[in-house]
A and B are shown apart, each in its own frame.
Chain A
Amino acid sequence: MAEKEVQAESIYECLKCNLPMTPGKVTVSYMGSSFPVELLKCPGCGLVLITEDLALGKMLEVEKTLEDK
């Protein structure tokens, strides 16, 4: 996962600002719980990138945990 995220860093840029996405601190929330995580973020407008790998990987596992399933 970490390797894919590093690869993503060199690939993605913000369409609005034309700036490369860089790792930055983001707070993600789900079902009333919040977690500080490092995600790719636009240094201009703050847009956060959540790749498919991330959404279907650890974020999905976190969601299932918090859903207590």
Chain B
Amino acid sequence: MESAVSCPMYEGKPIRDVTGDTIRPGGFTLTDRALALCSFAAGARVLDVGCGAGATVEYLINNHQLDAVGVDPSPALLEQGRRRCPGLPLMEGAGENLPFRDGEMDGVLAECTLSVMENPDRALAECCRVLKSGGWLVVTDVYARNPAGVSTLHELPLEGCLKGAMSIDELLQKIKARGFEVVLWEDHTRLLGELVAGLILAHGSMAAFWGCVTGDSVACGDIQNAVRKARPGYVLVLAKKVATGKE
């Protein structure tokens, strides 16, 4: 296949026109759902890993009265966030190397971002490190409802969540292996369907959207075949950091 498209899908206008600044299915729908289940106290310290332009950090501060901070490796997205809301606590950094102390956070959110990280295992270990014992990890992400299609997605010459989608078993296993107890997972594929529908209405077809994203450098038939095989869905996972007795 062709070499990967250099501009990540989440930085581009074709998807932002439909998702707005949250750049994920459902916008704040699952953020609200997760926060209702986690019941953070006002002022709780919460990290948004892969915060992009900081829409969720701003939302957590203004709508949920949390002491939120965001980290993202994209200078372009961080700059957009700072321009939109000067003083928003956004830091440049990778999920695999979080610039925070051990046990500093009451909660960590990774909304549609684990799948775009180079090393999700390392990122989950970092999320665990910066959380207090009993702290909440909130993951929402694209997953492959047909595990047999995962390898085809990984081979796609794209940068974005689709390429990094895992099966639900693999995702839950990775979370558990890094020191978490999975409290619940829920399928929210409907939200992904609605995002795709929005992309079709905005661009005319998914083929046209993929053409926009890749600059027609990738055969959109390859992408659509991989999608058909993997049957991407969307999931919310809530997990708690298992107490280690060291804190």
Q: Which residues from chain A sit less than 8 Å from chain B, CB to CB?
A: 1-2, 33, 35, 37, 57-58, 61-62, 65-66, 68
- A61 and B205 form a contact (CB under 8 A): yes
Query: B residues engaging A (CB < 8 A)?
Result: 189-190, 193-194, 196-198, 200-201, 204-206
Are B204 and A58 touching (Cβ within 8 A)? Answer: yes
Q: A1, A2, A35, A57: which contacts B197 (Cβ < 8 A)?
A: A35
Q: In the docked arrangement, what's the CA distance between A14 and B204, Å?
A: 25
State whether A65 and B204 are in contact (beta carbons under 8 Å apart), knowing that A33-B190, A33-B194 are contacts in the complex: no
21 CB contacts below 8 A, A to B, read A1-B204, A1-B205, A2-B204, A33-B190, A33-B193, A33-B194, A33-B197, A35-B194, A35-B198, A37-B201, A57-B205, A58-B200, A58-B201, A61-B205, A62-B200, A62-B201, A65-B193, A65-B197, A65-B200, A66-B193, A66-B194
- Contact A68-B189, Cβ < 8 Å, known A58-B204, A61-B206: yes
Distance in angstroms from B158 CB to nearest chain A CB is 19
Q: Kindly report which residue of chain A lies nearest to residue B192, judged by CB atoms.
A: A65
Contact partner, B204, options A33, A35, A57, A66, Cβ 8 Å: A57
Residues of B within 8 A of A35 (CB): 194, 197-198, 201
Write the nearest CB–CB distance from A37 to chain B, whole angstroms. 5
B169 CB to nearest A CB, Å:
20
CB distance from A59 to the nearest CB of B (A): 8
B200 CB contacts on chain A under 8 angstroms: 58, 61-62, 65
Alpha-carbon gap, A68 to B193, bound state (A): 8
CA distance A31 to B209 in the complex (A): 23
Q: In angstroms, how far is the closest chain A Cβ from the Cβ of B225?
A: 15
New A-B pairs, 17, CB < 8 Å, besides A61-B200, A65-B197, A65-B200: A33-B190, A33-B194, A33-B197, A35-B197, A35-B201, A37-B201, A57-B204, A57-B205, A58-B200, A61-B206, A62-B200, A65-B196, A66-B193, A66-B194, A66-B197, A68-B189, A68-B193
